[in-house]
Amino acid sequence: MTPRFRTTASALLAGLALGLAATSSLAATPAEMAAAYSAQAGTAASAARGQEFFTSKHGKDWSCASCHTSTPTGQGKHAATGKLIMPLAPAANAERFTDNAKTEKWFRRNCNDVVGRECTPGEKADVLAWLMGLKK
């Protein structure tokens, strides 16, 4: 098997796994989700791009950090409702990014609020890469 074929096959399998898992509540790890998003995007995730995306406004009133704070290892608070939000970083909250359906639901809602559209697989991979690198 050539290296290029292996890479393409791995990307297809990861994308298929995410697609199948997103339709159910299959358990996963944040790293598995990030790998699947990266495979769908066809590019490696970047923690630097993830941090930039998370902390920047994208033409709307809020950024991700507006509710999750620029240090998502602690509690956040919804900017409109004031509802407390548990830490987003997996190091501070082991339940984050372990349920595919829940992850997709929240990415869809929050990206719509922040960006005005669904996030791309690359944006999701980048944000997860940054969040996975944060320490408690």
Residue 104 and residue 40: Cα distance in Å, rounded?
A: 14
- Cβ-Cβ contacts under 8 Å for 57 (sequence gap 6 or more): 63, 114
pLDDT bucket at 136, cuts 50 / 70 / 90? confident
Residue that wins the pLDDT comparison between 8 and 78 = 78
pLDDT for residue 16 is more than 70: no
- Cβ-Cβ contacts under 8 Å for 119 (sequence gap 6 or more): 107, 111, 127
65, part of any domain: yes
pLDDT for residue 66 is more than 80: yes
135, part of any domain: no
Closest-CA residue to 76 (of 34, 31, 131): 131
18, part of any domain: yes
pTM: 0.80
CB 33 within 8 A of CB 112: no
Per-residue pLDDT, 38: 96
Give me the CATH number covering residue 88. 1.10.760.10
The domain of 102 spans: 3-130
